[in-house]
Chains A and B, each alone.
Chain A
Amino acid sequence: MASLISCPHCGSRPKEEFEIKGAALPRPAPDAPQSEWFDHVFLRENPRGRYDEYWHHAAGCRRWLVVTRDTASHEVEACRDAAERVPA
């Protein structure tokens, strides 16, 4: 994994300042069917390649980030604030 993460707020910082949560998946609607919630909470694409993941700059600006990286090469493609909605 990247030894450095380019936080959109703090710049390039050591990985140790961050904590990783896991797959950055859109939360289903509160009234979505059980099956959709089950899929969201328990099932994973687990791709070999491009992957969006939640990271928390816990020892930095305390912002949650979405890091887009490659799970085979570990190259980081992008890093954005998790509050930013991605244009569809």
Chain B
Amino acid sequence: MTSYRLSKGGQIDRATTLPFTFDGRSFNGHGGDTLASALLANGQQLVARSFKYHRPRGILTAGAAEPNALMTIGTGGRTEPNTRATVQELYAGLEARSQNRWPSLSFDIGAVNGLLSPFLNAGFYYKTFMWPASFWEKVYEPLIRRAAGLGKATNEADPDAYEKAWAHCDLLVVGSGPTGLAAALTAARSGLRVVLADEQPAFGGSLLSDTAALDGLAATEYVARCVDELRSLPNVKLLSRTTVIGWYDSNVFGAVERVQKHVAVPASGQPVERLWRIAAKHAILATGAEERPLVFGGNDTPGIMLAGAMRTYLNRFGVAPGRKVAIFTINDTGYALARDLEKAGVDLVAIIDSRLQSSVPYAGKARVLRNAVVTDAKGGQALSSIQIKQDGRFQSIDVDALAVAGGFSPIIHLACHRGGKPVWSDEQSAFLAPDNLNGLSLAGAAARTGNLADCVAHGSTEALAIATQLGKSGEAISVQVEGDLSGRVEKPLWSIPDNSGKAFVDYQNDVTRRDLDLAAQEGFGHVEMAKRYTTNGMATDQGKLSNINAIALLAEARGVSPAQVGTTTFRPFYTPVSFGALTGAAKGKHFQPIRKSPLHNWAVRNSATFIETGLWYRSAWFARQGETTWRDSVDREVLNTRINAGLCDVSMLGKIEISGKDAATFLDRVYSNGFAKLPVGKARYGLMLRDDGMIYDDGTTSRLAEDRYFMTTTTAYAAGVMSHLEFCSQALWPDLDVRLASVTDQWAQMSLAGPKARTILQDIVDEDIADESFGFLAAREVSLFGGKLRGLMFRISFSGELAYELAVPAGYGESVADALMQVGEPHGICAYGVEALNVLRMEKGFITHAEIDGTVTPADLGLAKMVSATKPDFIGKQMLKREGLSDPLRPRLAGLLPLDPTQGFRAGSHILSKDAAATLENDQGYVTSNAWSPHLQSTIGLALIIRGPERHGEEVVVWNGLYNEFTPGRICDPVFLHAADEKPHA
């Protein structure tokens, strides 16, 4: 509890006080704080527990790579587990809770795992928990699962909104530190359209933590000057709080803008997060470098943080890391921190420098121990001392904070998302992005170690090169820098011997150096295998800090160079992304678009109940007063339709207009049956096959004129058939003169079925529609309401009744349906829904996609006659001849009735021969459709049964073991209502 807020300094707004809580305790922070800086300012250094050993953990970084300081923030539907305190902006009323601890953060029972750690090392679980066999699931796994995970998900829905947007630019600059600002400015001045994205709320990147002077200005003033100019340019889009998460094909970048993650209650009308897809001609990664931790005993003790992070908390947030501070460094950047700490009045007790010499002078008060390393840190929940080894001798120094400067790794994550492999550089002691990436370059510290002036120059020249490439010109930017100590590559220090405590490589997943050694020893020395065996790099930080150390340690264990070990694969996302951001507005009722028929409101007014059918809401039945179950309504609709008449909305059938002088030839090739000879004014039922000979879809097509046809498809395949026909006309037979138009939405279509259908229709149709003039399968344009409206009328039947389908322009659909109901009322008309439609068609043995399931041939469904033997070509013709497709053992369509009409059966039941054992070998087929037929007063079924058509009359068992229903039944003709009852031709 030794970190504290300095009385002055930093870029926080001390005039604004922001109250917040952590584990129920109240604290105050300031505007501009992150949750992490505010916790440190309040002396709260213990903030988390690790995954496996429940080690006490503090704040290690000041950014996206944080492995330790994960907490749950928010409440209710806004609960967010695993939030990194180092990137979460503080707001008034923020509620943060620590995770993975019980009963409390300071007293965590789970820490007993640390004592058991000798047995819980890498891969231990693969070697045990196997006896007795049943114990894994009953005992061991539940115990492991109880301990699993970090934060807890809420069960509540998120009240906030998300959205998606596209951006297009010439140049995307990722990162707004010295390099990114210079790149963006250079490109913008040359006239390129520039997007500058930075994950922080403020632009400036590392400059916000720096005390160097650029062009005589304080770093923050220099940033302000650059940003002001960028803001003034119309060709620049600035995206702050925006993390570029992935690089995708065609140089499209994914990015997430945290629009309102820094407020307690988001303003409505604005999203909390916005997912950007940025299509960029070119991109510059100015993503900087990640500082490396050093691997020594107890290197996870709260109070230890990366040197760059400590400098950020000090300079940007005005937070002192402790009362007695030490710095463990392998390079000169440690001295920049030393200078800044001492200037801020913080007591710096020691600098432990692994080198014999540093290249910068140090005139401060701290002891400088050269050629020295920290071997161990002690203190448990709060750092109390460090053990130092210098020239073979050990000494201990009491400190409460330790900065660790282990060198830098360029942040090349995005550059490797499209398959490029990082390349090891001995000169840079780091993995660099591969060369010659198409459309992407890296600049500044993301490309190579350099000082501030180098970064500015590099960013600028890279941008200039792109501008030139895109036909623009400009000038490179350079700056004069004072007080900058960065810039030299030093020999890395991968392993530090003589630790007594655990030396962590992956903090969050508790992977130690010993674990990696063991992986190599057991044959898992390949970097990918070591990762999978030890879980190194698999935590929420995805190895941002740990991977490089793990690779180097594996290299040491195997006696090879890091180049030979190589890296694991960088994959999206750079930092984790919420489901909400990726979903945008497509949630709840808006998950998928809703399609409503032009007759929807008519159906609503007639008390329809709707069901989802694909994207459609279809009227399923129309309940009337006194009807208590859906079956009451459906039975009435079915009976009434057969006795009087029924009106059904069939607008959702796919409707395609086909025209052109070769339309007849075209139809002949896409249907398996003949269409060329169809007379004008007639409709015909057709089957479409796939290339493999199976039925694809069915429907009717009518010839309205010599060169004009009107096709209907099933509802489910409407879009598919349209695409298919377009494919046929454009890709297969572009020489045919055929034009296609989808007119599904242009027509409201209704089916009027029943003995009184003609009488009712004649009331609104101007032409005579008597059988002689409008016979079975007639299809013509008709005049309605005394010439007020034109429609299309087809005498086709899906019910076995005298039936017509009438199509009218969609906008008139409701009125026409109302009119039909009105004129039909004296004749007893009723509305019927898709349920009754299904009963009516099943009673006649007509098929739907319940039967056409993609694995049936025309012959399977008794439609062999619909395959032309004479046409030279139609889709599916050749593959239909394969031997297996005429195998007599293929299941074929048959009807099915229960022996006892009061017994039902369900679709999906299988068929067994009477007295046959219930085995797969005895399986005879299955029920495709079932319904209650009010005419037969029995359940009826359609089924695909082996040799079905030859077995009419055979008794079988309709077997539904899933529901414990075993119904004796009889195979029968699939047409349940026979010619005597048939009226479509009447």
Give the interface of A toward B (CB within 8 A).
Answer: 1-4, 12, 14, 19, 21, 24, 27-28, 30-32, 34, 37-38, 40-42, 54, 56, 58, 62-64, 66, 73-76, 81-83, 85
Contacts and interface: CB of A to CB of B under 8 A. Distances in A.
B157 interface: no
Contacts of A74: 249, 418
13 contacts: A4-B279, A14-B277, A30-B877, A34-B882, A37-B879, A41-B879, A54-B727, A56-B723, A73-B419, A75-B249, A75-B438, A82-B727, A82-B730
Contact of A56 (B249, B250, B727): B727
B979 interface: no
B878 A37 contact: yes
Contacts of A31: 872
A27 to B, nearest CB: 6
A62 B726 contact: yes
Contacts of A85: 734
B250 A4 contact: yes
Interface in B423-473: 438
Contacts of B691: 40-41
Given A41-B692, A73-B419, A64 B878 contact: no
Nearest to A33: B878
B8 interface: no
A80 B252 CA distance: 22
Given A3-B250, A34-B881, 5 more contacts: A3-B249, A31-B872, A37-B878, A38-B879, A64-B731
A17 B730 CA distance: 18
A81 B872 contact: no
B723 A58 contact: yes
Which one of B248, B250, B438 has the greatest number of beta carbons of chain A within 10 Å? B250
Interface residues of B, number: 26
A37 B872 CA distance: 15
Nearest to A69: B249
A83 B873 contact: no
B116 interface: no
A42 B897 CA distance: 39
Contacts of A62: 726
B980 interface: no
A4 B166 CA distance: 12
Nearest to A19: B723
Contacts of B363: none
Nearest to B741: A62
B248 A64 contact: no
B15 interface: no
Contacts of B248: 3
B584 to A, nearest CB: 13
B732 interface: yes
B726 A64 contact: yes
B878 A34 contact: yes
A5 to B, nearest CB: 8
A81 B730 contact: yes
A19 B553 CA distance: 47
B872 A30 contact: yes
Contacts of A56: 723, 726-727
Given A38-B879, A64-B730, A64-B731, A30 B723 contact: no
B867 to A, nearest CB: 15
A2 B250 contact: yes
A3 B252 contact: yes
A3 B277 contact: yes
Nearest to B874: A30
A31 B872 CA distance: 8
Interface in B855-887: 872-873, 877-879, 881-882
A32 B726 CA distance: 24
Interface in B248-263: 248-250, 252
A76 B251 CA distance: 12
Contacts of B882: 34
Contacts of A42: 692
A38 B879 CA distance: 7
Contact of A21 (B279, B727, B878): B727
Contacts of B873: 30
Contacts of B726: 56, 62-64
Contacts of A82: 727, 730-731, 734
Nearest to B734: A83
A58 to B, nearest CB: 6
A56 B250 CA distance: 19
A83 B731 CA distance: 5
Contact of B252 (A4, A38, A41): A4
Interface in B913-943: none
Contacts of A3: 248-250, 252, 277, 279
A15 B642 CA distance: 50
A3 B276 CA distance: 13
Nearest to A6: B250
Nearest to A62: B726
Contacts of A28: 878
Interface string B263-302: 0000000000000010100000000000000000000000
| CB-CB nearest 3 A-B residue pairs | A30-B873, A83-B734, A3-B252
Contacts of B872: 30-31
Given A56-B723, A56-B726, A1 B249 contact: yes
Contacts of B249: 1-3, 74-75
A32 B249 CA distance: 40
A76 B878 CA distance: 34
Contacts of B279: 3-4, 12
Interface string B728-743: 0011101000000000
B881 A64 contact: no
Nearest to B727: A64
Nearest to B722: A62
Query: Among the interface residues A30, A54, A76, which one has the most CB atoms of the partner chain B within 10 A?
Result: A30
B419 A63 contact: no
B81 to A, nearest CB: 31
Given A3-B248, A56-B723, A27 B732 contact: yes
A68 to B, nearest CB: 15
Nearest to A31: B872
Contacts of A66: 731
Contacts of B692: 41-42
A18 B645 CA distance: 44
B115 to A, nearest CB: 51
A1 B878 CA distance: 33
Nearest to A73: B419
A85 B878 CA distance: 24
Contacts of A2: 249-250
A80 B712 CA distance: 31
B600 to A, nearest CB: 24
From B166, B249, B438, B726, name the one whose CB has the most chain A CB atoms within 10 angstroms.
B249
B414 to A, nearest CB: 14
Contacts of A19: 723
A28 B418 CA distance: 37
Nearest to B690: A41
Contacts of B877: 30
Contacts of A40: 691
Contacts of B252: 3-4
Nearest to A38: B879
B877 to A, nearest CB: 7
A42 to B, nearest CB: 8
Interface string B534-567: 0000000000000000000000000000000000
A12 B279 CA distance: 10
